[in-house]
Amino acid sequence: MSDEPATPSARGTLSREKVLRAAVAMADEAGGAVPSTRKLAERLGVRAMALYHHFKNKDELLDGMVDLVFAEVALPEPGEGWREGMRRRADSMRAALGRHPWAVGLMDSRVHPGAATLRHHDAVIGCLRADGFTIAGAAHAFSLLDSYIYGFAIQEAALPFDSSGGDDMEAVAAGVMAQAAGRFPHLTEMAVEHAMRPGYAYGEEFAIGLDLILDGMERRRADW
């Protein structure tokens, strides 16, 4: 970050995409805090007023930041079966929210969504409709999947250990066991017989839960 005054060349190379990518990078680095106009301008080496040539206000900046995250998510492909399309999209969305945890509370809050956001939603609905879902059924499926994906992303980000497994998880489980043993038999059983087994990774629960949801959607889609 430079303390030098903004130069004409710095102002001249500023673009909407450059501002957005800097804002996303700063939010990622800060662990969720959306950068202020002043700090974003400092990052870009321009005066704060220069940003208003690209964004009228903070809401417009947030719209663009969220749109960049949606653009990272893999869309169902034409002709792809709905289960395959929804699974690939869910895995990709979870990964994107892992990279940008600040975005999870903003993904569906935008009043003026961008083109990537709209394209994303249209592709998901189209995949479901092409494979026999009614329009109401597609709405139910979309809502259910997003509730699961966003909820899992929030929980995963809050864990005091790496969800891919490792020593830190074992240390947390050992701490729980120290308090639970002899007092909470069901919790002890789950820790010993499941969470503390070699190779266990909490992140693998995502695919198991997603399978349950997709199986339920398969059974219910004819009735929706």
**Of 64, 59, 71, 61, which Cα lies nearest the Cα of 41?**
61
**Of 31, 43, 95, which Cα lies nearest the Cα of 69?**
95
pLDDT at 167 over 80: no
- Residue 73 near residue 89 (C-beta atoms within 8 A): yes
Instruction: Decide: residue 187, CB within 10 A, 0-12 exposed, 13-18 middle, 19+ buried.
Output: middle
pLDDT at 62 over 50: yes
**Of 153, 168, 157, which Cα lies nearest the Cα of 201?**
168
Looking at residue 84, its pLDDT comes to 96
pTM, two decimals, is 0.85
Task: Kindly state the helix (H) or strand (E) to which residue 121 belongs, with its residue range.
Answer: helix 115-130
- Residue 198 near residue 166 (C-beta atoms within 8 A): no
Q: Which domains does the chain have, with CATH numbers?
A: 14-55 (1.10.10.60), 58-158+202-220 (1.10.357.10), 163-200 (no CATH)
Could you say which DSSP state residue 102 is in?
G
Encode burial over 143-167: b for 16+ CB neighbours within 10 A, e otherwise.
eebeebbbebbeebeeeebebebee
**Of 224, 222, 209, 219, which Cα lies nearest the Cα of 87?**
209
Residue with the larger pLDDT of the pair 16 and 2: 16
pLDDT at 2 over 80: no
pLDDT at 93 over 90: yes
Query: Quick one: what percent of the chain has pLDDT higher than 70?
Result: 93
**What is the average pLDDT score of the chain?**
88
pLDDT band at residue 56 under the 50/70/90 scheme:
confident
